Structure 1
Amino acid sequence: MSSKISPSHAMQERIEKGLHQALAIAESKTAPQNLQRALHHAVFPGGARIRPQLCLAVAAACGDDDPDLSIAAAGAIELLHCASLVHDDLPCFDNSMVRRGQPSVHAAFGERIAVLAGDALIVLAFQYMASCSMRSPLRLAPLLKTIAASVGAPHGIVSGQAWECESKVQLSQYQKEKTGSLFEAATAAGAQAAGADADTWKPLGEWLGEAYQVADDIRDVLADQATMGKPQGQDLTHDRPSSARDLGLVGAVQHFDELVYKAIHSIPSCKGEKMLRALVAKEAERLIPEAWFINTSRPLHHHATV
């Protein structure tokens, strides 16, 4: 049996190592220990880590001539995603007691520590990037601008969450901001970390991010808590915008497949094109397995042909 490590496994190891390095910045024996434990709890064990994977895959396709900066960008994006989940689970939003198959941060450490942990992860993301910019300092400012815009106002994930507090919301705008903005940042930041053009890579993140939110809406209806790692039926419980509700389950699945198709075909011609196409197709199958639709009245989609 070959002992060779696959590229995807090597990437995952690189991401986990980077996240541990980032959290080490916030560690101190003289700091509040509950907060430090909560930060670790929020980040490990991780989910699919698709955002940092996407960032590193684009960086690799663009040459990845500064791997310290690309892993910092990827890690920062994952830390910001984790922060959003900590806040999303709070009693004032979803009041979710479970995340990634374990107690949510507020369930494990209390609401006050959860708020502070989410805040600390946001700050830590930018601390980590700043600490890894020595080789390519001129790339740091554009990276910070890209990633910060994807999180804050007026069109980042904070605004996406805020739409849930409005009386009216356009579904596509809600999905683009709540989920798509950080995916778009992942592809753009991967390019910027490697000194390449961000705009060339933004469409991949935009289409994949929207597909991810549609998939989340579908999974909220079809998947159980064990599969999702969080409670089912949250969209209906909290009366949130949902593709499954607006388009119906059949329409939502068809829309998901269209978005995956657009994501795959937006990938520029490059040395990493084949790897990126495989990554998107694999993630699409993980999110909405074809097995869910076999021998049922629901439509069978075909990720292999997208």
Structure 2
Amino acid sequence: MISKHPVDLVGGSDELIEQALRAAMGSALSPASPTHLRGALEAAVFPGGARMRPKLCMKVFNACGASQPELALRAAAAIELLHCASLVHDDLPCFDNAPLRRGKPSVHRLFGEPTAVLAGDALIVAAFKSLSRQVTRTPLLVVRIIEVVADAIGPSHGLIAGQSMEAMTHVPIDRYHQYKTGSLFVAAATCGALTGGGDPAPWAKVGELLGHAYQIADDIADTVGRPEALGKLGAVDTQLDRPNIVRSQGLDSASAKFYGYLEQIGDTIPAGPHEESFVDWLSQALCKGVAGAGKAGLIQQAALECVQPS
């Protein structure tokens, strides 16, 4: 059991998410695990960033009736571990060769490239191992959750497919955003609905729209953001000729699309007793900040920096 405490249906579950991540890591590792690998895994996951994906999972779970709290927390943790794995791999020399992540040296800079590759692999294993621990309790639901999460990182329309598109010369930007970023948001919302006892279809759409908005904000930040605000170096997409909506469509168009997606999200959220709470959380996360100024604040800052003389 991850926690003896019930999920907080009103105030959120940030502490429980961290407990679930620690539990998932603990079940994957043992004293026999090589010390340097343990260190790399710790650096990859803790301290984390905004934890937007697991928080989305738990907020949708709460909005849908909070039916299976243990499985919801495991799904939230699994999705975050997969996200962390993708960051470790994304930072590797063969991709972005990023020296910083979340304001600290990236995993491959701290522990070397081979260990970073294995750390990312280990996080993927840990994610699915944590989910599998629930299979004897609710087998059909756990199998469904595993399928949803696996599809979200898979080579068809998941994160791996999105990452592979960085090697293409001409990339459809919306599909790239949907695969690389939106897929995990869709999985988080879907898993939240499934474990909460709700209809996953409308929530999957919320996740899809949120994923688009989130990646647009990241594209804007990468184009004009400052390293001290980002916690990593900027202009990576330009330097490596990566797909970026600002480069292809301009800052004004990208910003307009961001706010357009936010409007669509508001229209898509299913009505219910927890609808207002979910909207308030989303507004706080995107516009006032889970970490720093929030995504909308980041866009406003980026727009100002773009027009100010250097």
Q: Same fold (TM over 0.5)?
A: yes
Query: Counterparts of 1:155-304 in structure 2 under 5 Å?
Result: 155-285=157-287, 286-289=294-297, 292=301
Q: How does the TM-score come out when normalised to structure 2?
A: 0.90
2:44 match: 42
1:60 match: 62
Greater displacement, 42-51 / 31-40: 31-40
d(CA) in 1 for partners of 2:306, 2:231: 26
Greater displacement, 224-233 / 66-75: 224-233
- CA shift at 1:138, angstroms? 2.0
1:192–1:198 contact (8 Å) kept in structure 2: yes
1:113 aligned onto 2:115 = yes
Q: Secondary structure at the match of 1:199?
A: helix
1:55–1:70 contact (8 Å) kept in structure 2: yes
2:23 match: 21
1:69–1:133 contact (8 Å) kept in structure 2: no
d(CA) in 2 for partners of 1:53, 1:136: 22
Q: Secondary structure at the match of 1:201?
A: helix
Greater displacement, 87-96 / 244-253: 244-253
d(CA) in 2 for partners of 1:168, 1:294: 26
Q: Secondary structure at the match of 2:137?
A: coil
d(CA) in 1 for partners of 2:58, 2:260: 25
Q: Which amino acid aligns with 2:55?
A: Q
Q: Which amino acid aligns with 1:106?
A: H
Q: Secondary structure at the match of 2:301?
A: helix
Q: 1:21 to 1:245 in 2, by over 3 A?
A: same
- CA shift at 1:170, angstroms? 0.6
d(CA) in 1 for partners of 2:101, 2:164: 21
1:136 match: 138
Q: Which amino acid aligns with 2:281?
A: L
- CA shift at 1:136, angstroms? 2.3
1:66–1:135 contact (8 Å) kept in structure 2: no
1:100–1:228 contact (8 Å) kept in structure 2: yes
Q: How many residues align?
A: 293
d(CA) in 1 for partners of 2:286, 2:65: 26
Query: Counterparts of 1:95-114 in structure 2 under 5 Å?
Result: 95-114=97-116
d(CA) in 2 for partners of 1:94, 1:294: 25
d(CA) in 2 for partners of 1:265, 1:31: 48
Q: Secondary structure at the match of 1:65?
A: coil
- CA shift at 1:295, angstroms? 7.3
Deviations 1:266-287 (A, max 9, x none): 1000122112112222222201
2:92 match: 90
1:76 match: 78
Q: Which amino acid aligns with 1:17?
A: Q
Q: Which amino acid aligns with 2:169?
A: S
Root-mean-square deviation (CA, aligned residues, Å) is 1.9
Q: How does the TM-score come out when normalised to structure 1?
A: 0.91
1:66–1:136 contact (8 Å) kept in structure 2: no
